[in-house]
Amino acid sequence: MTTESTTFIECTAAFQRALCSVSGDTRERERLLADGVRVIQAALERGDASPRVWVYLGELELQRVRIDEAHAAFQRAVELDPLDPLAHSGLAYSLLEKGRDDAAEEALAEALMTCESAFLHGQYGSLLVRQGRYDEAVDQLERGLELEPENEELLLLFARHLSESEDEMRGFLERALVSDPDFVEALCELGALFWLQENATAARRCFARALELDDECLEALHGLSETLRVTDPREAMRLAGRSIEIDPEEPRGWSLMGEALWELSHKRKAHRALERACAIRPVRHEGARAFWLRAQMAEQEGLLQHAIWRLEEASAHAHLWPPIASDLGRLYAHIGRTADARRWLHVALEHDTDDDASRRLLSELDGQ
């Protein structure tokens, strides 16, 4: 065995040890990542490491959120082996992390001319989706599927972003799961689709299987908690609590905890859980939904003015959760503030053109 082969095995082992730490204790994770970087850097300094070791270094530096160092490592990997698709992929990803989307696109286009691969087409397609260039994204993903017809990652991208119907989405997800029955992301996506279609049994089955494969998968914990909220609120609360233990800065766990507590008639605790969700910054989709849930609970208790106050508090986030605006319009109409009702119903329709209830109410108000 050559010195380079021995070094590669040593670096691969260090790389794998470091990555196995990612979902564990934070201090242990940081220690193992730093140890992995030290082993790899020592090998690179000796000069007996293969170009792929630079890719390992880049990946570990990404995990440490040292983007400049990661970019430099991937750049060196590409220079040493222009035919390594992993090196090109890492370089493009590091450019995206630096906010250089145009440079990342250029890097991917160049990479595909020298070392075409399905996953590089997938990465390019993902970038185009992010930019709203859907026709070009479809072209990239289709070219990737020509190379690997059952590539589960590409099929998942089609399902998530480019499906034209729920049936088509389900078809892509089921193909992905035929290719890899243990594909956790596809299981969660299929579970969410079944839940949307009001097939709770199938949704639970998907989320439960995903949790068997990855007991720290937040998407699976959240999805299963949501499907059990009414039928088994205690289990829903337990699952939400587990997700909060894993990531207390993810608002959906707190929202689901609040909903489960509400089902159990622990109203004060439910409000406190939702307040935690509302306090997380920056406010994202689930945080905006938490504001709306607090208003829903006030309305259920007959406290209409409190519900309006809470919706007004959340009104800046209506673009993230359109029901904030539609409920403001509905409640203002209920108490006779017609002008305010019209204004918020228009906002609701700007953010959700399929909101038929708001459209009907606005038509009724305009006819008065």
Write out pLDDT tens, residues 250-269: 999 999 999 999 999 999 99
Quote the Cα angle for 346-351-352, to 5°. Answer: 95
Say what the alpha-carbon torsion angle 99, 105, 110, 114 is, to the nearest 10 degrees.
100
Q: Residue 177 is encoded by which pair of tokens?
A: 């799961």
Domain residue extents for the chain: 1-115
Name the 3-class secondary structure at 163: coil
Q: How far apart are the first and last CA of the chain?
A: 87
Q: Residue 1: its pLDDT value, please?
A: 44
φ and ψ at residue 177, rounded to 5 degrees: -80, -25
Q: How buried is residue 28: exposed, middle or buried, by Cβ count under 10 Å (0-12/13-18/19+)?
A: exposed
Homologous superfamily of the 1-115 domain (CATH): Tetratricopeptide repeat domain (1.25.40.10)
Q: Which bin fits 289, alpha (ψ -120 to 50), beta or left (φ > 0)? A: alpha
Q: Which residue has the higher pLDDT, 329 or 16?
A: 329
Residue 13 has pLDDT above 90, yes or no: no
pLDDT tens-digit map of 330-368: 999 999 999 999 999 999 999 999 999 999 999 999 876
Q: Give alpha helix (H) positions in 229-284.
A: 233-246, 251-263, 267-279
Q: What is the pLDDT of residue 5?
A: 66
pLDDT tens sequence across 131-143: 989 999 999 999 9
